[in-house]
Amino acid sequence: MFEEIKKIIKAIRNLTLRFYFFSITIFSQIYYRLLNKPLIHVVGDSHVFVFKDKRMFIAHHIGPATMYNLNKKDSNTKSNEKLFDVINKINRKKDILMLVFGEINCRIHIYYQYKKQNEKFTIIELIDRTISNYGEVLKKIKENGVRFCVYGIPAAATEKNIYNYPFYATPEIHSYIYKEFNNRLKHFCEKNKYVYIDIYPKVSDDKGYISKEFSGDKIHLNKKIVNFVREEVLKNI
């Protein structure tokens, strides 16, 4: 009987929290609409959660979406369809879209493909191929008349191979991949005149890992990054 009561109390608490955060999101949208100010719609993988319920931000998590497959329809994650579902619902005259993709590719897929294909392609070539696929999506978003920016990926983490991939980079190789990926993504955006939110210098230590100041867990950033990103988005768009 006592355990049942505990479950009911927990369910009520969870429901209350969901309603609370839902109310904050709705209030935020109404408030900024009344002030005729933009909302920043953050769309992407789990790195969007740091912006959840933060002032001016609306977070849209579309699952473990990868940058490499974002241009593909009918992928396992349906990330392309989910992304454009969000785009079709935002206010294109006022709002801003911020795209958050690529960290999963750097942590898992680039090195995995490098070793799986017997090093047929260099790590840099695999990075460039990933960014090229992303570029196809960015071009379509621009053609849709949406104001958007590209969020860089954080610095490397030191997480172990918890998913038991047969090929998984060492922390040192991860640091190299993340740094090169950010540099090349930044260059790609500058070349194509896309606004790039460069968080890497802000959140990385001298070895290329997430600094303790900005570390939320072994992979994600904490809320200290939010104000910096808000200022960078509004300054550049």
Same domain, 53 and 15: no
Query: For 106, which DSSP code?
Result: I
> What does the pLDDT read at residue 163?
81
Same domain, 42 and 149: yes
Q: How far apart are CA 178 and CA 184, in angstroms?
A: 10
Same domain, 79 and 11: no
Distance in Å from the first CA to the final CA of the chain: 57
Distances (CA, A) of 190 to 14, 21, 138, 185: 44, 36, 13, 9
> What does the pLDDT read at residue 17?
38
Q: How far apart are CA 225 and CA 153, in angstroms?
A: 12
Same domain, 62 and 145: yes
> Contact 153/182 with Cβ under 8 angstroms?
yes
> What does the pLDDT read at residue 33?
62
Count of residues in the chain = 237
Same domain, 29 and 139: no
Same domain, 99 and 203: yes
Same domain, 31 and 97: no
Q: DSSP string spanning 141-195? A: HHHTT--EEEEPP-PBP----TT--SS---HHHHHHHHHHHHHHHHHHHHHTT-E
Which CATH number belongs to the domain containing residue 73 in this structure?
3.40.50.1110
Q: How far apart are CA 50 and CA 22, in angstroms?
A: 16
Query: How far does Cα 176 stand from its chain's mean position?
Result: 19
Same domain, 70 and 162: yes
Q: In what order do the strands lie in the sheet with 96-100?
A: 57-61, 40-44, 96-100, 148-151, 195-197
- Identify the three-state secondary structure at position 137: helix
Is the torsion defined by CA of 64, 175, 135, 41 positive or negative? positive
Same domain, 26 and 93: no
Number of H helices, E strands in the chain: 8, 5
Q: Which amino acid is at 157?
A: A
> What does the pLDDT read at residue 27?
58
Residue span of the structural domain in which 1 resides: 1-37
pLDDT tens per residue, the chain (237 residues)?
A: 555 555 555 545 555 434 444 445 555 666 566 555 789 999 999 999 999 999 999 999 999 999 999 999 989 999 999 999 999 999 988 999 999 999 999 999 999 999 999 999 999 999 999 999 999 999 999 999 999 999 999 999 988 888 889 999 999 999 999 999 999 999 999 999 999 999 999 999 999 999 999 999 989 999 999 999 999 999 999
Same domain, 104 and 2: no
Question: How many Cβ atoms sit within 10 Å of the Cβ of residue 111?
Answer: 22
Same domain, 28 and 104: no
> Contact 180/124 with Cβ under 8 angstroms?
yes
Same domain, 23 and 126: no
Q: Number of structural domains, the chain?
A: 2
pTM for the whole structure:
0.86
